[in-house]
Amino acid sequence: MAPLHDFAPVRIDYILDSITRLGTRPAADKTGRSKPPLSGLNILDIGCGGGILAEPMARLGASVTGIDATAPAIDAARAHAELSGLPITYECRTAEDLAASGAKYDVIYASEVIEHVTDRALFAHAIADMLVPGGTVVITTINRTLASLALAKFALEYVLRMVPAGTHDPARFVRPDELRNEFAAAGIILDDMTGFAPRPARRIGANGFVRTGMMAINYGASGTKA
């Protein structure tokens, strides 16, 4: 989980900026008092794992639901949220199953998930079904390039051994144009994309990644319904 923790700050910043950019972020209440920045928003974290992104969203005032197909991850997320006193709803289920229940959300993000999905078109339609009008969708994933094959697959899994061998299937890495077209077919326009890269000359306590115009390895995409 260490690489995901290192990657979390820049992903959180991109999600928050996307919410603001698309106007999904709520304003102050009628009394003029400031609310937590995400107060009043229902957020869905698809592939939540141990809650690395769900917990910061809950601390910012959102009502957060986290889903994951891996039961041990959900158990760990529930235990950590309980220790932290955070009222996050965690469920072991797929996005397609949740969409069939009629659930609706203001913000839906899937971070480092779609490269593990078997049927991306079905996945995109499930997200579209659950998104309210004017809602925000954020996807972060891995591009399918020679650079990502070398670094995100072989270096991380077999040289640095930062993730278990076999974690990634390079055939499921998705190019930005493919991601945009597949979500457009589901009625979601991903109108912003940005790359993520390791911070040069990292310092202790500094964010591990920064945004960049280069999308050869990791990148994020955000948008809303057409």
pLDDT for 73-118, tens place per residue?
999 999 999 999 999 999 999 999 999 999 999 999 999 999 999 9
> How confident is the model at residue 158, as a pLDDT?
47
Q: What is the DSSP letter of 190?
A: E
What residues in the chain have per-residue pLDDT under 70? 1-5, 25-34, 149-168, 200-207
Cα distances from 203 to residues 161, 162, 196, in angstroms, run 22, 19, 17
Do 216 and 165 contact (CB within 8 A), yes or no? no
Q: Judge contact between 141 and 174, C-beta under 8 A.
A: yes
- Domain 2-21+41-225 listed as CATH 3.40.50.150: yes
Q: Which residues contact 44 (CB under 8 A, 6 or more apart)?
A: 64, 65, 66, 67, 98, 103, 105, 107, 108, 109, 130
**Beta pairing, strands 188-198 & 209-212:** antiparallel
Around 180, how many Cα atoms within 13 Å sit in the side-chain half-sphere? 12
As a whole number of angstroms, the distance between CA 142 and CA 170 comes to 9
Confidence (pLDDT) at 6: 73
Q: Is 15 left (phi over 0), alpha (psi -120 to 50) or beta?
A: alpha
What does the alpha-carbon distance between residue 223 and residue 19 come to, in Å, rounded to a whole number?
9
Residue-level pLDDT at 226 = 87
* Cα–Cα distance for residue pair 2/162, rounded to 1 Å: 8
Which residues are registered as beta bridge partners of 138?
109, 222
The domain ranges of the chain are: 2-21+41-225
> Distance between CA atoms of 224 and 159, rounded to whole angstroms?
38
- pLDDT at site 28: 46
Under a CB-based contact definition with an 8 Å cutoff, are residues 150 and 188 in contact? no
User: What is the per-residue pLDDT for 34?
Assistant: 64
- Give Cα 61 to chain centroid, integer Å: 18
